[in-house]
Amino acid sequence: MKNVSEKMRACFSQGTMMLLKRISALSKELGRRAYLIGGTVRDLLLEAENLDIDIVIEGDAIAFGEKLARELHGMIISHKRFGTCSVTTPEHVKIDFATARKEAYAKPAALPTVEFALLKDDLIRRDFTINAMAISLNEDDFGFLIDFFDGAGDLEHKSIRTLHDKSFIDDPTRILRAMRFEQRLGFHIDTHTANLIIKSIEKEVYKRVEKPRLRDEIILILKEKEPFKIIKRMDEFRALKIIHPYLKFHKDLHNMFDAIDEACLWYQNNSPRKRSIEKWVMYLMALFEDVSHDGTLYFCNIFEFKRGERLRIMSYKNNGRKILKTLNAKRKIAPSKIYHLLEPLSHEVTLLIMAVSRSDAGKGRAMEFFHKYNGMRTVIRGDDLKALGIKIGPHLSRILEKILYKRLDGILKTKEEEFRYAKKLAKRKFAKGAG
């Protein structure tokens, strides 16, 4: 066993080290052994930044977490069904505790049922050797690396390797995880593991997985720093069909992903209103560029995307290309028209339209929308209109909208001009009503 406590001191802050020592003392007091585990250990050995602290307890992790939270005056969230909990310290450090568990698969690809077991049983259920190492937090061997499957050797050889041959049958989401870790870390999937992946894709084992679990892995892929590389790798393995049977690696995809990065960077640096952008949703829309409306809708529904995500994806599918065509037009377009087209869209959809626009005119108009038009308001307000005798309701909103459009087009400039125009519109309505 190798002692890696030097590395721990070098990589973790002093505060984190003190916290780990506290956990160590608690584990002695409770007679429950505690280990750092999984990605935390992998990234520590790689000296890569990782803000997650994952700990496995040989025994009841929730009771352990509750005691620690009480001692630290921290907060705890428990998941009884899984025997896990998260403790957040007053300094906002989050530690995830899990109960060491052995998996009994009711049927392949189902969610594991949890039962108490020792560390090795817990590690053997993990996806890859590099994720199946532990570091002892126990007083007698604090800082010792426990590595039953030579994960450290695989880290050295930059290799992604499963622990056993049935790994991808037990849990096909690991197919996607293998490619994600491979590309993120700049590793390679070892030959035997690659063959297992190819065979399990051929057998379509992924069809048995609950779709939301696959969805979560797809989102994780698209949230990586360089998702395009992973998508390309998935194509090489013919694994894109795990996402959708008609998903093709279209030749424009690389350009689209690059353009999305550029558009998001522009937005970050230039947009006056910094609403946070979910870039992964944009990548997903790009990925589905050539899939039909019905195919995309079906995908959104069976993978159970959240309502807001589904609406954004479908809004691009329904309107994106049409709006792009209008924006790319050579003729002059009034700002109110640009506003009318883009204002109802989510920022992700507008940014994607901007990204994929091949014309400077189209890009410029989308940029102008973010810069100038978005967030522009009339000077007069609803209350001013009420004072003119206009009742609250759709008519009042329509008048405000018409005033805004004239303001966007530079026709109304002052509050007085807006008032005059509002009165004219109100009179027109009454005249119509009277008539």
**With contact defined as beta carbons under 8 Å apart, do 17 and 8 qualify?**
yes
- Pairing state between β 94-99 and 53-57: parallel
One of 32, 38, 229, 305 touching ligand ATP (CB under 6 A): 38
The partner residues of 86 in beta bridges, in order of sequence, read 77, 96
User: Smallest distance from the beta carbon of 278 to ligand ATP, in angstroms?
Assistant: 18
User: Smallest distance from the beta carbon of 91 to ligand ATP, in angstroms?
Assistant: 21
Q: Which amino acid is at 385?
A: L
One of 30, 39, 59, 419 touching ligand ATP (CB under 6 A): 39
* Between 126 and 363, CB nearer to ligand ATP: 126
> What is the radius of gyration, based on Cα positions, of the chain?
28
Q: Contact between 127 and ligand ATP (CB under 6 A)?
A: yes
Q: Contact between 418 and ligand ATP (CB under 6 A)?
A: no
Among the listed ranges 166-174, 288-296, 415-423, 424-432, the one in contact with ligand ATP (CB under 6 A) is 166-174
- Name the closest residue to ligand ATP (Cβ): 39
**Rounded to whole angstroms, how far apart are CA atoms 407 and 399?**
12
Among the listed ranges 124-132, 144-152, 350-358, 378-386, the one in contact with ligand ATP (CB under 6 A) is 124-132
**Rounded to whole angstroms, how far apart are CA atoms 17 and 297?**
48
Q: Contact between 173 and ligand ATP (CB under 6 A)?
A: yes
Among the listed ranges 142-150, 169-177, 340-348, 408-416, the one in contact with ligand ATP (CB under 6 A) is 169-177
**Rounded to whole angstroms, how far apart are CA atoms 174 and 217?**
9
Among the listed ranges 167-175, 185-193, 233-241, 285-293, the one in contact with ligand ATP (CB under 6 A) is 167-175
34: nearest Cα among 128, 108, 140: 140
* Between 55 and 285, CB nearer to ligand ATP: 55
* Between 126 and 365, CB nearer to ligand ATP: 126
Burial class of 393 by CB neighbour count within 10 A (0 to 12, 13 to 18, 19+)? exposed
Among the listed ranges 8-16, 170-178, 288-296, 336-344, the one in contact with ligand ATP (CB under 6 A) is 170-178
**Rounded to whole angstroms, how far apart are CA atoms 181 and 236?**
16
Query: Hey, CA dihedral for 222, 179, 86, 213, is it positive or negative?
Result: positive
Q: Contact between 147 and ligand ATP (CB under 6 A)?
A: no
User: Smallest distance from the beta carbon of 57 to ligand ATP, in angstroms?
Assistant: 15
C-alpha dist (Å) from residue 100 to 3, 144, 200: 22, 18, 28
The number of C-alpha atoms within 13 Å of 74 and in the hemisphere containing its C-beta is 22
**What token pair was written down for 105?**
């698969």
Interface with ligand ATP: number of residues (CB under 6 A): 12
Q: Contact between 58 and ligand ATP (CB under 6 A)?
A: no
**Rounded to whole angstroms, how far apart are CA atoms 180 and 185?**
8
Q: Contact between 101 and ligand ATP (CB under 6 A)?
A: no
User: Smallest distance from the beta carbon of 13 to ligand ATP, in angstroms?
Assistant: 18
**Rounded to whole angstroms, how far apart are CA atoms 425 and 423?**
5
Contacts of 292 (CB under 8 A, 6+ apart): 246
Q: Contact between 131 and ligand ATP (CB under 6 A)?
A: yes
One of 15, 18, 52, 250 touching ligand ATP (CB under 6 A): 52
* Between 267 and 280, CB nearer to ligand ATP: 280
Query: Hey, CA dihedral for 7, 12, 13, 17, is it positive or negative?
Result: negative
One of 161, 174, 215, 229 touching ligand ATP (CB under 6 A): 174
**With contact defined as beta carbons under 8 Å apart, do 145 and 152 qualify?**
yes
Among the listed ranges 123-131, 316-324, 326-334, 407-415, the one in contact with ligand ATP (CB under 6 A) is 123-131
* Between 38 and 143, CB nearer to ligand ATP: 38
Q: Contact between 347 and ligand ATP (CB under 6 A)?
A: no
**Rounded to whole angstroms, how far apart are CA atoms 80 and 140?**
30
**With contact defined as beta carbons under 8 Å apart, do 103 and 125 qualify?**
yes
Among the listed ranges 173-181, 194-202, 268-276, 426-434, the one in contact with ligand ATP (CB under 6 A) is 173-181
Q: Contact between 126 and ligand ATP (CB under 6 A)?
A: yes
Torsion of CA 122, 123, 127, 131, to 10 degrees: 130
Contacts of 431 (CB under 8 A, 6+ apart): none
* Between 214 and 403, CB nearer to ligand ATP: 214
The partner residues of 56 in beta bridges, in order of sequence, read 35, 98
Among the listed ranges 168-176, 189-197, 255-263, 397-405, the one in contact with ligand ATP (CB under 6 A) is 168-176
**Binding residues vs ligand ATP (CB under 6 A):** 38-39, 52, 54, 126-127, 131-132, 171, 173-174, 177
